[in-house]
Amino acid sequence: MYLKTIFQFKNLINTEFGRGKQRVLSLTDLLIMQGIADRQSSAAIAADLRLTKAAVSQCTSALAKKGYITRTIDPDNRRNLTLTLTDVGQEQLATTNAEFDTAFTDFVKDMGESDLQQMLALMKRMSTIIG
């Protein structure tokens, strides 16, 4: 029952905040692109998001195919890729961030500040215990 609730909440975040929007990025895509914009390596992005390096690699491959990022081999270390947002990727990231911000603002209004603070505190505690 608990796992199902967590799964449903994750799916709700991935879909509800983008409902009726022109958004074509999942929350994972958005967070990975934000990490790239912040000049993080794929290993750092994986660690921050608690994803496997393979999952980040799969997402960055898909983002590159969509034209949102470029992946170039690091000339100093051929095993590393340098990830960079394209102009289209920067525009999409800004648009998607704005859509998520608007949706989250509406969510906060509907939920109420007190309930939201309590929910976030519990989620942080749960993450600390699990992680």
Model pLDDT for residues 68-119, shown as the tens digit of each residue? 999 999 888 888 889 999 999 999 999 888 888 887 788 888 888 899 889 8
The residue with greater pLDDT, 124 or 19, is 124
Report yes or no: 71 and 36 within 8 Å, Cβ to Cβ. no
pLDDT tens sequence across 15-66: 655 555 555 677 889 899 999 999 999 999 999 999 999 999 999 999 999 9
Q: Which residues contact 93 (CB under 8 A, 6 or more apart)?
A: 25, 30, 33, 34, 37, 68, 85
Tokens of residue 74, six digits = 């690091």
Q: What is the DSSP letter of 50?
A: T
How far is Cα 115 from Cα 63, in angstroms, rounded to an integer? 35
How confident is residue 11, by pLDDT bands cut at 50, 70 and 90? confident
pLDDT tens sequence across 79-92: 888 999 999 999 99
Domains contained in the chain, CATH given: 23-130 (1.10.10.10)
The amino acid at residue 56 is V
Torsion, CA 71, CA 44, CA 93, CA 78, rounded to 10: -10
